[in-house]
Structure 1
């Protein structure tokens, strides 16, 4: 995202101009389609394009390529690691460790809603159809530490360290089980 570029509402692909609706709720619908295990890849691509472009005829020959372009260019947002430097100013090698998933847009929906309300005074239901996906992502990444979603992220990424009391470690492990994204580890909260 660049602040001197306008938010994407249209783009050109293969010589044709496409209007695209990247409202955050629309993109969340796209993720629902992508997670549907009953659909074939081509069907997923076609449905996603219809969600984003509206009903229009798509050339079957480019449907998959068009979808891949849209996903890679406008939906997928890579969280780049900042480049670290040694004392001489040389870039350090990048560690390609698998990052633990800290947010699930579906499972954490109520916490995200509450955090946006708390931090920005923003009701996400009222923003449906207008808040752009890139704006949503930026606001989500920039949530203040005192919001419930940020606190849950801190709980999920917590690892015990020397000097923490046994009670604190037990409390944090219990919270990690409560807020776990893996259904096998998640406990019911009463």
Structure 2
């Protein structure tokens, strides 16, 4: 993200300029499509391209090339500390454990933005993905999402009381993401 560059609103591909809708809610729709196991890959690419650039006459190969470029340069370009994903939205192997899931943590994210005076429902179609990511990554420590991330990342320190450790383990279980391995060797969800 560069503050002296305008937000991207179109993209040129093979000599044609397409409008590019990178509003945060549109990008979240793209992620939902990529996770949809009922769709074939060509359907996912076609649907995602239609969301991002509108109806088009591009071949599947061209759509795939353009979609990959958009993902790499405009959607995953500043991918959060959350977790790196492949083109289909699947977590890459050997990644650090994820600490946030935009879909499962939606209510906490919404509440955290709302405290900042940003109603994400009112910002649909307006707030860009780049702006959304920047705000999400820089949430104040006192926001509910930051507190949950800290709980998920917490590990005991020398001098922590047994009472504090027990409370933090309870909170980690409460806020654990599915598939997360907890300290006691148990897996959540």
Q: TM-score range by the shorter chain?
A: 0.7 to 0.9
Q: Alpha-carbon deviation of 1:79?
A: 4.6
For residues 52 and 7 of structure 1, the distance between their equivalents in structure 2, rounded to whole angstroms, comes to 15
Runs of 4+ in 1 over 3 A off after TM superposition: none
Tell me if 1:121 matches 2:117: yes
1:6 correspondence with 2:3: no
C-alpha separation in 1, matches of 2:152 and 2:159: 19
Deviation, 1:56, is 2.5
- Residue aligning to 1:98: 95
TM-score by length of 1: 0.84
**Whole-angstrom distance in 2 between the partners of 1:56 and 1:65:** 14
SS in 1 for 2:61: coil
Residue 55 of structure 1, CA deviation: 2.1
Query: How many correspondences in the alignment?
Result: 169
Please tell me whether Structure 1 or Structure 2 has the larger radius of gyration of its CA atoms.
Answer: 1
Matched residue SS, 1:123: coil
| Displacement of 1:151 | 0.1
What residue ranges of structure 1 are gaps of 5+ in the alignment? 81-96
CA contact (8 A) 2:113 2:119 kept: yes
CA RMSD of aligned residues (A): 1.5
Higher relative contact order (CA 8 A, sep 6+): 1
Paired position in structure 2 for 1:33: 33
Alpha-carbon separation, structure 1, partners of 2:80 and 2:144: 21
